Amino acid sequence: MTTTTEAPATEANESSDHAHEHPSDLLYVKVALFLAVLTALEVSTYFLNDASTTVLVLILFPMMIIKFVTVIMYFMHLKYDNPLFKRVFIFGLGLATVVFLITLTAFDFWSSEYLRFLR
C-alpha cells in the first residue's frame, strides 16, 4: 500500500485532508436508517397492484439513485475523500450508462419492448 508522505502541492495533495476525514459511527447509523426507510418504501410499491410500469419507474428510479449516491458518498467516503477518486468512478459509471443506453436504443428497446409494457 502506498500513501502520501512527500507528495507535491497538487490539487490532490491540497485536498488530502479530505482523504483523512471519516464520518462518526453515529452518522453511519443514521445513514443506514435512512437507507432502510428508503428500502421499505421501495418494497411497499410491490403492494400497489394497479400501478403501471411508468408509475413504478417514476417512483422507484429516484429512490434507487438516492440510495446509490448515499452509499457512495458516505459509506465509500467519496464526500470526504480525494476528488480524483470521484472523477475516476464517475467516468466509469458515466461511460457504462452512455454505452448501454446507446445499446438499448440500437436494439430498439425504447420503441418496442419497453413501450409495449408501458401500455
Partner 1 sequence: MTDAAVHVPVVADHGHATSTGISNAKLAMWVYLGSDCLLFGSLISTYLLLRHRGVQGPTPTEVFDIPFTSVSSFVLLMSSLTMALAVASIVRGDVHRNRIWLGTTAMLGAVFIGGQVYEFTTFYREGLGYTTSIFGSAFYTLTGFHGIHVSIGIVMLMSLLVMSLRGNLGPERAETVEIIGLYWHFVDIVWIVIFTIVYLIP
**Block residue for cell numbers 482523504:** 19
Q: Which of residues 20-79 bind partner 1 (CB under 8 A)?
A: 20-32, 35-36, 39, 42-43, 45-46, 53, 56-57, 60-61, 63-64, 67-68, 71-72, 74-77, 79
105 contributes a contact to partner 1 by CB under 8 A: no
Q: From 15, 26, 4, 35, select the one nearest 81 (Cα to Cα).
A: 15
Q: What contacts 11, CB < 8 A, 6 or more positions away?
A: 83
The minimum distance between CB 87 and partner 1, in angstroms, equals: 9
Shortest Å, Cβ 8 to partner 1: 7
Residue 83, C-alpha cell as written in the block: 476528488
